Structure formats: structure tokens, C-alpha cells
Amino acid sequence: MLTQAILVAIWAGICSLDDVGPQMLRRPLLTGTIAGIIMGDVVQGLAISATLELMWMGIGNVGAYSAPDIVAGAIIGVSLGITTGGGIATGIALGVPVSLLCQQLLIIWRSFACFLNPWAEKSIQDGNYRGLVKVHYFSTPVWFLIRAVPCFIAIYFGSDLIKTILDAIPKNIITGMGVASKLIPAVGICILLLMLLKGRMWFFFLLGFMLTTYLKLPIIPITFIALAFAVLYDMASMNSKNNNDDKQDNKPALNNNVEEEYDL
């Protein structure tokens, strides 16, 4: 169990580093399946992670909003679902509260990480690039451990410890974090609106609002409709750019013809 807990913790740390980078490993279908391979049951790992993927399909960080931590939730849910033999039901029952608990840890760390920005900014202004590297050397291990440690503790000590931790947290703190998590999305949406309302992007926002509010469409049909409009918009933009390039290319040729006729 110790070896498996260490391997799962390392995998959780790698996914945590990816979460602040390209974000190619954060989906439950991948993180949970790899955790299932480490725990020795690929079939159960795939089944639990696929269920969590369907449940958390629409969850994502928007602006300043920090969503429930689906990375740690999927890894711990799959691992404990396999070790306890409870399968999908146990994986979901443990994955959801763990994702909410790790969400609070991420909020605390991200709030603290804001104080690193002045350090990085001052290092850049002074030309002290070694100081900028130190910022990364300090923050990268924390990002690794912020998910690796909870995953190791949960898997090594079992689900009883998680329940004990959740019960030990005062309800006032949980309620306060819940209120804060509802206020933060408003800030994130406002930031997104500032970007969407620039140029011609407001049309896509209006289209999504109409599809959601008046037609009551779920997220998947809206995604395909948005994809179709995005492709059409890209094709129109490329055609317009090509036409402008052709006009610019033809202008020198016309000038040359005029000059040659004049010379003759």
C-alpha cells in the first residue's frame, strides 16, 4: 500500500503541475484511469473515472473562479473505490467531498500566491532574472505538493481519515468558503465580459446567452453550435485576409505596367 500511495501521489503532483501549464492531464477520464492502473485494477479505474468525467464534464476554472478540484477528487475517488471494493458508488461518494476539500486548499494557496507577483515584478524591473527563477523554484514544489500530499494521506490512511478531517472542520469555515466560492465567479465573469465585449466577440456571447436562456439547450449542443460558428468566422476572416493580400500584391504590378507604358 505504501508503494501505491507514493506512486499515486507522484502522479497527482505531475497532474498538478500540468494544471498550471498546458492542462492536458486534468480530466478525470485520464487521471482516474492512470490511478486505476497504479492500484492494479484498470477496469474499475476506467469505470469510476468515466462516471466522474460525465458528472464533472461542465466543470472548469472560469476567470478567477476556482472549481472543485476534479484532479484530486478523481484520483482519490478511483483509488479508494478500488481499495475498499465499493466500486463506482464509493468512488463518487468519496471523490465529490475530496474535490470540495481540495478546492479550499487551492483557494488558500492561490490567495497566498498573489503575494509572489510583486516579487516577480520587482525582479523583472531590476533585471534580476535569478530572482525570477527563485519565484518558480519556490512555487513549483508547492504546486506539486498541494495535491500529492492529500492524495498520499487519503490513500495510505484510508477513507476514515478523510471523513474525520471533513467532520473536524468547523461549519462556519465551510460556510464562509462556500460564500466566497460563489462571489469569486462573479469577478471571473466580469473579467471575461471585458474581453468578450471588445471587437466582434460580443456576438458569440449574445449567441450563447440566447441559446441557454431562451432555447434552454444543454452545454453539449451549445458547444457544437459554437464550434460551427467559430469555423465559419475563421473561414470568413481567412478569406478576407487573402483578398486583402491579393489586392496588395496586385498594386505593384499595376504600377509597373503604368511605368512601362510611360517609358515606352
User: 205-252 pLDDT, tens per residue?
Assistant: 788 888 888 888 888 888 888 888 888 888 888 887 777 766 676 655
What CA–CA distance (Å, rounded) separates 27 from 200?
31
Euclidean distance between CA atoms 203 and 220, whole angstroms: 19
Between 103-112, 162-171, 232-241, the lowest mean confidence (pLDDT) is in: 162-171
**∠229-235-239 over CA atoms, to 5°?**
145
Find where cell 476572416 sits. Answer: 237
The residue to which cell 492494479 is assigned? 40
Indicate if the pLDDT at residue 173 is higher than 70.
no
Kindly list the domain boundaries of the chain, sorted by start residue: 2-196, 199-264
pLDDT exceeds 60 at position 191: yes
Q: Is the pLDDT of residue 258 over 50?
A: no
Q: Write the pLDDT tens digit of every residue in 17-75.
A: 888 777 778 788 888 889 889 988 888 888 888 888 877 776 666 555 567 788 888 88
pLDDT score recorded for residue 262:
38
Average confidence score pLDDT of the chain: 77
The three cell numbers of residue 77 are: 475517488
What gap in Å lies between CA 135 and CA 113, rounded to an integer? 10
Q: How far is CA 95 from CA 15, 21, 51, 89, 122, in A?
A: 16, 24, 11, 10, 41
Q: What is the pLDDT of residue 259?
A: 44
